[in-house]
Chains A and B, each alone.
Chain A
Amino acid sequence: MNGAHDMGGMHGMGPIDTDPNDPLFHAEWDKRAFAITLALGFHGRWNIDTSRHARENRHPADYLGSSYYEIWFKGVERLAVETGLVSAEELATGEPAAISQTPPPDPARVAAILAKGASAKLDDDVPAKFNAGTKVRVLDITTPGHTRVPRYCRGRIGTIDRDHGVYVFPDTHAHGLGKKPQHCYSVRFGGRDLWGDAAPSNDTIYVDLWDDYLEAAP
């Protein structure tokens, strides 16, 4: 989707607050929102692509007007209801109508769950469409669904820098349409190929892109 989250190349966002001592959390509630998001995710009702889409698929004013963990919180609220972990009425009243029959993981296992992670890399034997060094053009994709093609590189020509291997494809995975295993590459773009001749000639931008986003350059 062409949402407010896709910020690369937008103007007017102002200077960066570079304070190296800025705390990771600014209030008790954002710590709790962060932890709730991870802990509820342990139930496996959604994947990382679903959760990104739940955060991004909202009015641009809502996205830009919300702090970071506020967006996370709104995302997890939505996912909890959409997947039936919580009913809309329970969310509205705060009163539990039913107790979960699937207990959450033992708190003693949290560290092990985090250390294990969940790689999106797959063992599927899928041929790569492109080799390192090949020139490719990014398809000019416009979809209302989830995608990881930033707008700033759509339609632009770059070069395959390296093949990362076979990965879950987010555009289908976010919508319950399967993992669609395919190669994901680091694609190298010249700064001038993205931003025009005013850009320095020796800026390069690397974007990780999947086979389904690319075609051979004409």
Chain B
Amino acid sequence: MAFSFSTSKDKPAIAALLTAEFAVKAGKSVKIELGNSTSLVVDKNTSFSLNHSICRFLARSFPDLGIQGNTAVEKTEVDHWLLFAQGRLSCANDFTSAVVYLDTVLGPITYLVGHCVTIADFAVWECLHSNSAWQKLYTSGEAPVNVKRYYKYLCEQPVFSSIMKKTPNVEVKGGGGKDK
């Protein structure tokens, strides 16, 4: 089945865009368009407009990609990280402690869940990438070592670097969290 995914050029749903791009690079049929708003059209009666819903929908539609996790535990770990990304990591007051927690978990691992990239990585990378407080930590060299390694490693992967070229750069300014 071919899906049509469209996202806003100025404020893209980055995790959804990464998921769609990943699917396309793996040979799946998803039409990607940069336009005015975000939606994934399934058929004439069904569409999704939320960033993480689109990630989940595409991951479930293409289970052979493994980006939703492979077992019940892995899938639920992915859910844990999606909730973490939209909750603690996106909240300016919790940001510092959320990054410390992330650093502890990432110590011994490359990807958040299992041994391959999942939509959990897409969602958490988006939060870091679009957060000026994180960019400030990262460019000044003060970021916790494991999160820094994780973020840098993902930035170098083809899907992430292609999205970085397509989307607006994040301004690095002092203090504060993600704009609400």
Real binding pair: no
- Interface of B toward A, CB cutoff 8 Å: none
